[in-house]
Structure 1
Amino acid sequence: MKNRLLATAFGIFLLGTAGQASAADVTMPDPNYATATAAMNVIKAIAEQELGLEVDTVTTTAVPVIWEAMDRGKGEVDIWPDVWLPNQQGLVDKYVEANKTVKLAKNGYAAAQGYCIPTAAAKKHGIKSVYDLANPENAKLFDTNGDGKGEIWIGAPGWQSTNIEKVKARDYGFAEFFELQATEEAVATANLDKAVKADKPWIGYCYGPHQNFALYELTMLEEPKHDPAKFVVVQPNDDPNWFEKSKVSSGYADTSVHIAYSASLASRQPELVAALERIQFDANDISKWAYEIIVDKKPAAEVASEWVKAHPDAVGKWMGR
């Protein structure tokens, strides 16, 4: 397997010659966070072990660029296994519904997202709701650098949810009291681990399935029930004035995660596409895979290969046997 870098600034691939498609049969992105990396590697293992395909990977966290590549249909990116809805609904509307250049597999699994805090800190300081953050004294509890502002992790650069969280922080009224940190997930997890071990507060965007819910005792903050009228999201790739035009003052709608693939893949790899439509991931499996990758330090490819070999019945159904 070759591993390449997906350039985010110009929306092109560094493949030796910019913009060329991969020579492999299938190309998938590795976004470098455990749940999506695990799902990607399971699909990769099936493609290689069951269909004998050569699968290439590109490393990126830039979700819009992934969709643009699938839209072009040239094999730069063929499959994206981590479509969070409603987070990526704008991309689905554009590329699946309007352009019809990307397909969304019908099967998905339920997920959850919001803000979380170590349970011990939540109880100690009485932090229960997002509105408790809109208090300068409470915000100072999360100040680790002495600048008078708390720090809150809002997600990784390139995630659609990170933009949503920027708007949420403004509309829930706590943005002025916090430094909104958009860093790679590994940095946030390291900070969470440090805080828990020191019995200190930490606050950030959390989603599940995720290994952190097995590693730590975490409490999700209360948010108003989802209200479509109060959850209006415009993404930067749709409008340069996205921040001003967005308004988010309620929780997420029911969340599900799906597989997307380039429409051109159907003619190039019909057997694989048929399998993608049959794949039904399980949230508990996703969490276990992520735990093995992060906590047990097992290579993601090894985790995926072992699971595929240990579950011939499930794989058989996915392959139509």
Structure 2
Amino acid sequence: MSKQMIMKLHRKKQTFAIVVALIVGLIACQSTPENSTKLPGSSQSTEVALPGKGVKVRPGSGTSVAGQFVSEIIRIGLEKLGYEVEELKLLNITALFLALGNDEIDVAPTLEKLHTNFFEKAGGEKKLEVVGMFSSSDIIQGYSIDKKTADQYKVTNLVQLKDAKIAKLFDSDGDGKANLTGCNPGLACELIIDHHLKVYGLENTVKQDKGEMEVLKADIIARYQQGKPILYSNWNLDWLTSVLQTGADVVWLEVPFTSLPGEKGKEMTQKDTTVSGKNLGFAVDRARLVASRQFLSANPSAKRWFELVRVPFEDIITQEKLAREGQNRSKDIRRNAEEWVKNHQALVDGWLEEAQTAGKAAK
């Protein structure tokens, strides 16, 4: 073989080696595949399969800002676990539980006691499971009036509105009955208020004003600022509590005895509805998630994620204030949820890591 041919073969071998090296380098530099990720909160390069890959999740929520905000945080975590998460479906509480029971959505934020009758009608524990507690503080609901009127007329109990003279103080439409600002039609609180007016013998002197709650709350504030008496139902997980503060601006009214609608309501006692020695008429509640048992059984990582998420009351109320100021579109709430996750990244990463571990342990 000539010297010239040997040099040509040598050059070909060098070229081949360079090409192989380039290919290997490109493979090494590729980003993490879709079906794997680094453990959140870890600097280790160990890659683990995302537990939700190929699984669709259909989340739902009531129309309240609080429910939407928490649901978006839940969605973000599910996405990071690899699930294909559909857009949030917003429904009134009746339709929400109907969708859960009919396997049209997989998970939604609810209240454990306030929504118990809806839970039972949707199939109860055979189909659904209450899981997690997305906010740790007790949820308190009841009837409030302005402190000025309460002090002047010594009104401490809702049943005092049987007195037509007292009831007329809160008459805003001139029909002689007290206007009690209530809830959207179809919500659990609307049904409870109507039940209370009946069992406490108040139907002749008090009526519930029903409608869009944000509009109703705006009317409450306007009347208060005008120095007029106000009477309304409210809960502590609401931006209104930062405008009309309990003890300074308004006071809770007691009820004469505990009575709640439905079969589950009959099981409630005065102990269940009493806060700081006052019987407020509504069960002291907890913010929980309700999910399909079938979905939870098949997705241990998602279940563990649902169990771990906690959003402080203050952060939920802040989101409600932002919504009141104009950040009330779905994209606004989503953006604010992303910001919340970013501000609590180490905590969220810990939850995600534990959720991934739960998925691996179940295999």
Normalising by structure 1, report the TM-score: 0.77
Distance 2:351 2:86 in 1: 18
Counterparts of residues 237-248 of structure 1 (less than 5 Å): none
Where structure 2 has 5 or more consecutive residues not aligned to the other structure, the ranges are 1-54, 271-278, 355-363
Q: Which digits, 9 at most, give the CA deviation of each residue in 1:88-140, with x for residues without a partner?
A: 22334455754x21111143531100011233443344432212322211211
Match of 1:123 in 2: 151
Per-residue CA shift, 1:116-170, capped at 9, x if unaligned? Answer: 1233443344432212322211211222222222211232222122211111112
After superposition, the C-alpha distances for 1:23-44 in whole angstroms (9 at most, x for unaligned) are x933333432222222222212
Q: Residue 133 of structure 2 contacts residue 286 of structure 2 at CA under 8 Å; is this kept in 1? A: no
Structure having the higher helix fraction is 2
* Aligned residue among 173, 193, 205 for 1:145: 173
Equivalent residues in 2 for 1:8-47, closer than 5 Å: 25-47=56-78
- Mapped partners of 2:348, 2:268: distance in 1: 42
SS of match in other structure, 1:103: strand
Structure ID, larger Rg:
2
Question: 1:213 Cα shift?
Answer: 0.8
What SS does structure 1 have at the residue aligned with 2:88?
A: strand
1:156 aligns with 2:184: yes
Structure-2 separation of matches of 1:88 and 1:179 = 23
CA RMSD between the two structures: 3.0
Question: Following the alignment from structure 1 to structure 2, what is the Cα–Cα distance between the partners of residues 144 and 190?
Answer: 14
> Structure 2: which amino acid aligns with 1:28?
P
Partner of 2:283: 253
The answer on whether the counterparts of 1:111 and 1:207 sit within 8 Å (CA) in structure 2 is yes
Partner SS state of residue 80, structure 1: strand
Identity among equivalent pairs (%): 18
Please, which moves more after superposition, 107-116 or 262-271? 262-271
- Label 1:199 to 1:41 Cα distance change in 2 as closer, same or farther (>3 A): farther
Change (3 A) 1:302 1:223: same
Tell me: CA distance 1:268–1:287, structure 2 relative to 1, closer, same or farther (3 Å): same
Equivalent in the alignment of 1:85: 112
Following the alignment from structure 1 to structure 2, what is the Cα–Cα distance between the partners of residues 50 and 201?
51
Aligned to 2:306: 276
Query: 2:87: which partner in 1?
Result: 56
Q: Which residue of 2 aligns with 1:318?
A: 351
8 Å CA contact retained: 2:167, 2:206: yes
